[in-house]
Amino acid sequence: MAIQLSCASFLGVEGVIISVEIDISRGIPSFNIVGMADTSVKEAKDRVRAAIINSGYEFPNNKITINLAPADLKKEGTMFDLPIAIGLLIESEQIEVEDINQYLIMGELSLSGNLKKVRGVLPIVIEGHKKGFNKFLIPYNNYKDCSMIKDINVYPLSNLKQTVKFLIYKDMPKYYFPVEEKKENSESNLDFEDVIGQEATKRALEVSAAGGHNILMFGAPGSGKTMLAQRIVSILPKLTYEESLEVTKIYSVYGTSNYKGGLIDERPFRSPHNTTTEIALCGGGRNLLPGEISLAHNGVLFLDEILEFKKNIIQLLRQPLEDRKIKITRNSGTVEYPCSFMLVAALNPCPCGFYGTNIKPCRCSDYEIKRYIGKLSGPLLDRIDIFTYVNPLSYGEINSNIKKESSSEIRKRVENAREIQSKRFENEKIRCNAEMSQKHIKEYCAIDNKTSKVLELAFEKFHLSTRGYSRILKVARTIADIESSEKIEEHHIIEALNYRKFINNEII
């Protein structure tokens, strides 16, 4: 009679419960794994065989069939090693475990029987908890992945022998996660008080952070665009618990070496190089892993010198910026990842970088400048809320001793604005002004007749698109929130209009 154990896999950032069925019967000795298993799962045969023998047990010399159900879902990864090994030992009557169905078991086995860390434990535990499991057997090095989930019994184990001993004797209490000291933010040494001048750009970044708006900075080389962008995380509000859980699930699935386990409580800051590929940016590949835009979820995606990226790479951002999620479809399957990030981009105004400045004469022809800027299509520019020019600094500004505003002071205003938005969207499925739809704009961005006349004049004079019109209202709403104003005033609209100026002061 076949025995059944519970394991799990993940699809995107969601866990999927997998039933591991083991049958040992008479016949020519063989070991088959069925149920749409990929190469890494099928290779479990050799790992499990060696682990069982090297742990002091006997490997059954019979016909072995392993079924991973549901059979129509592709299985990948190495987390099925441990449940397969335990199932073989139970089915061959080497051990007896009566309550095996109460456990969700996962782990990769080494040839010596030790348990290795696996990817995706957090979404699996969350899904298992929803499905009624509260006992989880996991590799010891994965224990931090579950530290934020309450009301579960986690048993981190080091090897196959220890797992068998626990299942038989129940001699291990559930794991109690130690209270860890708060992690230091890797960006904590970056502060806006270190930035000389650039008050207009700092204000634009503050508005951007307060409403979660996409922003593009342009200016001559060395004017401080990268320096400013690197400090934007220091003025963003802390992640809420729900946001932290979303980010942590993505990093748990991705399995990056930078993720050491536990809840991620700092907003991600991703800065891919301009040689990045489509798969690295958007996700995919053989295992359908998340890309940079998903790793930046609830944080910042910074594209330095955005025009140095290939044009087709830049255009890939259009749909994720609008939908805040990305669906990846390949021959191996389809997954959907969240990617609600704040885009921060920087560029030079021309190939040589000095167009429109008095630092050096520009050496570029009009054709070269148009071709260079042309990498940014109209639809992509429409998805950017704020444009800000970063001025080259004069000697007087560089040599100034005036004390600059710190990130903590700016962050207080940003957090106050986000708190207003949190209350406003309490019953909505959005979190900040940048996520507002047309329905929300009509409800929360109403303006009086005087203010409407200003916007109407700008709309007709500069031939604004419908999306550009909506962006202006969203930014104006954020500026009003920073000032704790219930109504959008005329000066809020004027400031928002100024943030639509791009090259040559053209309103877009």
DSSP tag of 235 = G
Q: What is the pLDDT of residues 85-110, one digit of tens each?
A: 999 999 999 999 988 999 999 999 99
CA distance 479 to 204: 10
Q: Dig out the tokens for 447 from the structure.
A: 């303006």
Q: Dig out the tokens for 411 from the structure.
A: 């962050």
Phi, psi of 199 (to 5 degrees): -65, -35
Specify the CATH number for 3-169; select among 2.60.40.3680, 1.10.1040.10, 3.30.230.10, 3.40.50.2000. Answer: 3.30.230.10
Phi, psi of 49 (to 5 degrees): -60, -50
Do strands 115-116 and 300-303 pair parallel, antiparallel, or not at all (unpaired)?
A: unpaired
CA distance 418 to 410: 13
pLDDT the model gives residue 486: 92
Delimiting residues of CATH 3.40.50.300 domain(s) in the chain: 192-505
CA distance 478 to 494: 13
Phi, psi of 358 (to 5 degrees): -105, 20
Q: What is the pLDDT of residues 191-236, one digit of tens each?
A: 898 888 888 999 999 999 999 999 999 998 988 899 999 999 999 9
CA distance 349 to 247: 34
Q: What is the pLDDT of residues 347-363, one digit of tens each?
A: 999 999 888 887 888 89
Phi, psi of 270 (to 5 degrees): -110, 135
pLDDT the model gives residue 479: 97
Q: Dig out the tokens for 14 from the structure.
A: 């969601």
Which helix (H) or strand (E) is 250 found in, with range?
helix 241-254
Q: List, edge to edge, every strand of the sheet that includes 342-347.
A: 269-270, 300-303, 342-347, 215-218, 386-389
303: β partners? 345
Quick one: CA torsion of 232, 209, 408, 483, rounded to 10 degrees? Answer: 150
209 contact partners, CB below 8 Å, separation of at least 6: 232, 235, 236, 342, 410, 414
Contact between residue 76 and residue 11 where contact means Cβ atoms under 8 Å apart? no
With 50 as the cut, is the pLDDT of residue 187 above it?
no
Instruction: Give residue 448's Cα distance to chain centre.
Output: 39
With 70 as the cut, is the pLDDT of residue 188 above it?
no
Tell me the CB-side half-sphere exposure of residue 129, using CA atoms within 13 A.
15
CA distance 410 to 79: 45
CA distance 321 to 432: 14
CA distance 425 to 413: 19
pLDDT the model gives residue 59: 95
Query: Which whole number is the average pLDDT over 492-506?
Result: 88
The identity of residue 100, as a single letter, is I
- From residue 213, alpha-carbon distances to 66, 236, 316, 384 in Å are 51, 12, 19, 7
DSSP tag of 403 = P
Contact between residue 488 and residue 445 where contact means Cβ atoms under 8 Å apart? yes
Q: Dig out the tokens for 186 from the structure.
A: 């890797």
pLDDT confidence band for 388 (50 / 70 / 90): very high
pLDDT the model gives residue 408: 93
Q: What is the pLDDT of residues 402-440, one digit of tens each?
A: 778 899 999 999 999 999 999 999 999 899 999 999 999
Q: Dig out the tokens for 218 from the structure.
A: 């342009």
SS3 content of the chain, % helix, strand, coil (to 5): 40, 20, 40
pLDDT the model gives residue 290: 94
Helix runs in 195-240, H state only:
199-211, 225-230
pTM: 0.89
- From residue 5, alpha-carbon distances to 84, 118, 142, 221 in Å are 8, 18, 20, 60
Q: What is the pLDDT of residues 229-251, one digit of tens each?
A: 999 999 999 999 999 999 999 99
Surface-to-core class of residue 374, CB atoms within 10 Å of its CB (0-12 exposed, 13-18 middle, 19+ buried): exposed
Q: What is the pLDDT of residues 263-322, one digit of tens each?
A: 888 999 999 999 999 999 999 888 889 999 999 999 999 999 999 999 999 999 999 999
Q: Is 433 helix (H, G, I), strand (E, B) or coil?
A: helix
Delimiting residues of CATH 3.30.230.10 domain(s) in the chain: 3-169
CA distance 65 to 63: 7
Task: For tokens 């980010």, name the residue.
Answer: 247
Q: Homologous superfamily of 192-505 in CATH?
A: P-loop containing nucleotide triphosphate hydrolases (3.40.50.300)
| CB atoms near residue 256 (< 10 Å) | 14
Which helix (H) or strand (E) is 222 found in, with range?
none
CA distance 255 to 45: 24
Highest mean pLDDT among 148-152, 185-189, 355-359, 479-483: 479-483
Q: What is the pLDDT of residues 130-181, one digit of tens each?
A: 999 989 999 999 888 887 787 888 999 999 999 999 999 887 777 766 655 5
Mean of all residue pLDDT scores within the chain? 90
105: β partners? 137
Query: Which whole number is the average pLDDT over 14-34?
Result: 93
Do strands 115-116 and 108-109 pair parallel, antiparallel, or not at all (unpaired)?
A: antiparallel
Surface-to-core class of residue 417, CB atoms within 10 Å of its CB (0-12 exposed, 13-18 middle, 19+ buried): buried
CA distance 269 to 297: 9
pLDDT the model gives residue 180: 56
pLDDT the model gives residue 1: 66
Peptide bond connecting 178 to the previous residue in cis, omega within 30 degrees of 0: no
Phi, psi of 344 (to 5 degrees): -120, 115
Contact between residue 228 and residue 197 where contact means Cβ atoms under 8 Å apart? no
